[in-house]
Every structure is written in C-alpha cells, then in structure tokens.
Amino acid sequence: MNDPSRKDVKIDGYDIHVIHPGGKQYEAFGGETFDADAVKLKKAQISAIEQVSGCKVTDAEYSNAMFRKLSAEVSCK
C-alpha cells in the first residue's frame, strides 16, 4: 500500500500497518500469520492505532473478510 499516512509498527510480535484516512478515523491491518490469534491480533491493532495517533480508541469495527482490518475512531484529550 502506498499511502503517505501509513506508519508501520511492531506490537507483541505483529507487524501492524496503520493509516489515517482523516479526522478521527484510523485503520490498522497486517500481522496475519497462519497461527495468528484473532483476539490478540485485534488488541495489537488497537494498540498500534493508539501508539500512532497518540489518542485512545473509542469505537472500532473489525473486518475479517479478505484480511483482518480494524477500522477505529479515536478520542484525543
């Protein structure tokens, strides 16, 4: 993906890619392996968004369609 907002971080052994489409919206993807635990991966993706944004995830939707992607909204205080 060639998105200029993309940041790559390593969380709990997962390589997570975070993009910022705009506003309070963030998306995280990556970290997939055959043995990836979906719950641990989701937590890692939330942590990655919080690390990149410097804000707290307040709402998230997890998609497991083609690849595991987390779309989230953050709140910065």
Concatenating the DSSP letter of every residue in 9-54 gives EEETTEEEEEEEEETTEEEEEE---TT--HHHHHHHHHHHHHHHHS
- Sketch the domain layout of the chain as residue ranges: 7-75
The reported pLDDT for the residue numbered 33 is 62
The reported pLDDT for the residue numbered 37 is 80
The reported pLDDT for the residue numbered 36 is 65
The reported pLDDT for the residue numbered 18 is 96
pLDDT by residue, tens only, the chain of 77 residues: 578 889 999 998 899 999 999 999 999 998 766 566 888 888 999 999 999 999 999 999 987 766 788 999 999 98
